[in-house]
Amino acid sequence: MKILVCIKQVPQKDAPLRLNEAGTWIRDDVSWETNEPDAYALEEALRQKEKHGGEVAAITAGPARAQQVLREALAKGADRAIHLEDDRFAQMDAANTARAIAAAIAGENFDLIVTGLQSDDFGAAQTGVLLAEILGVPHATIIIGIEKTDAGLKLKRELEAGHYQHIEMTMPAVLTIQSGINKLRYATLIGIKQAKMKPMRKVTWAEVEGKLSKHVQKIERLYVPGSQKKTRKIEAPAGEAAKQVVEYLKNEARAI
């Protein structure tokens, strides 16, 4: 199976984020990591390759710093990487990101494309679905089980509130992967060494610009949300904080 995994670099989960001066995006000086659901998509791609043979390519769209997530993918076992490298990819909406990816892999004919179900930054949960539309192939979302069959794929989808569904579909296909579908591997020392020798293809803005749409969603303003409730903030040593919480629960909320 020829598999592509789409990976995004996002701010680290615990990283304190600050707004830029224009209030339209975050400041870039934070720590970055692989978007967690994408890490599960990569793991699933590697497992499918180990079972059925073939190759795994990893792609990302982002500034120079985003190369790190590709290096990690190569170290874990991906065979090659594609980097859509430009600062402008960082704030791009899902539709144009999907268009850029489709342009970068034109003529590649992957059997299977996997990506995380959503990103920790935008959280739009759209890129994979849109990529399928652009490529003209079927897709399925929030996948927690993949089995290759003679006819194509047998998949387990997660639905809301503890419900599931099996579906079958033809290949080529695009799947968005739910966190927890598998157990993530760590990169080995040998893997990290070998990664340096693996091919990394750079794709410039100019190469895909013609495929992008001018109709993009625009973030007019980004701001810290106001509290939705009258929140009582307690910043005190543990013992004192505990007393204040119990006081509140007993006398005001009457919850205990």
Partner 1 sequence: MADMILVVAEQREGKLNRASFETIAAAQAIAKETGWAVEVVLPGQGVAALAQELATKAVGKVYALEAEALKAYTSDAYVHALKAFIVEKQSKVVLFPHTYQVRDFAPRLALGLDRTLISDATGYKFEGGALKFTRQMFQGKFTADVSFGGDAPWMATVQIGAFRGDQAENGSAPVENVTAAVADAPARVTPHEVFQEAKQTVDLSQAEVIVAVGRGIKEQKNLALAENLAAVLGGEVAASRPICDNGWLPLERQIGSSGQTVAPKLYIALGVSGAIQHIVGMKGARTIVAVNKDPEAPIFEIADVAVVGDLFQVVPALTEEIKKAKGSQ
Which residues 8-37 are close enough to bind partner 1 by CB under 8 A? 11, 13-14, 16-17, 19, 26
Window of 56-64, 74-82, 168-176, 193-201 that interacts with partner 1 by CB under 8 A: 168-176
The answer to whether the CB of 96 falls within 8 A of the CB of 134 is no
CB 124 within 8 A of CB 116: no
Of the candidates 127, 30, 34, 108, the one whose C-alpha atom is nearest the C-alpha of residue 74 is 34
Q: Which of 134, 187, 192, 212 binds partner 1 (CB under 8 A)?
A: 134
**Amino acid, single-letter form, for residue 63:** P
Q: Return the residue of 54, 63, 138, 145 that touches partner 1, per CB under 8 A.
A: 138
**Residues contacting partner 1: total by CB under 8 A:** 80
Q: Which is nearer to partner 1, 53 or 163 (CB)?
A: 163
Which CB sits closer to partner 1, 60 or 118?
118
Counting contacts by CB under 8 A, is residue 219 touching partner 1? Answer: yes
CA dist list (Å): 159 to 127, 164, 176:
19, 5, 13
Nearest to 86 by CA among 74, 73, 72, 103: 103
Binding segment for partner 1 (CB under 8 A), chosen from 76-84, 91-99, 106-114, 197-205, is 91-99
Per CB under 8 A, the segment of 45-53, 107-115, 125-133, 189-197 that binds partner 1 is: 125-133
CB neighbour list of residue 72: distance below 8 Å, 6 or more residues apart: 34, 187
> Does 161 help bind partner 1 (rule: CB under 8 A)?
yes
> Considering only residues 6, 61, 75, 94, which one is a binding residue for partner 1 as defined by CB under 8 A?
94
Q: Residue 47 or residue 80: which is nearer to partner 1 going by CB?
A: 47
DSSP string, 170-194: -SSEEEEE-TTSS-PPPPPHHHHHH
- Find out whether 138 and 65 touch, Cβ atoms under 8 Å: no
* Distance from the Cα of residue 247 to its chain's centroid: 43
Interaxial angle between packed helices 94-104 and 127-135, expressed in degrees from 0 to 180 and rounded to the nearest 10: 50
**Contact pick of 165, 193, 201, 209 for partner 1 (by CB under 8 A):** 165
Q: How far is it, in rounded angstroms, from Cα 93 to Cα 90?
A: 9
> Considering beta carbons, is residue 190 or 215 the nearer one to partner 1?
215
Q: Rounded to an integer, what distance in angstroms lies between the CA atom of residue 27 and that of residue 65?
A: 14
How near is the Cβ of 201 to partner 1 at its closest, in Å?
Answer: 26
d(CA 22, CA 221): 8
| Contact flag: residue 250 with partner 1 (CB under 8 A) | yes
Out of 158, 192, 205, 207, the residue judged to bind partner 1 by CB under 8 A: 158
CB of 161 to partner 1, least distance (A): 7
**Residue list 55-74, contact with partner 1 (CB under 8 A):** none
Residue 132 binds partner 1, judged by CB under 8 A? yes
Residues 220-239 that bind partner 1 (CB under 8 A): 220-236, 238-239
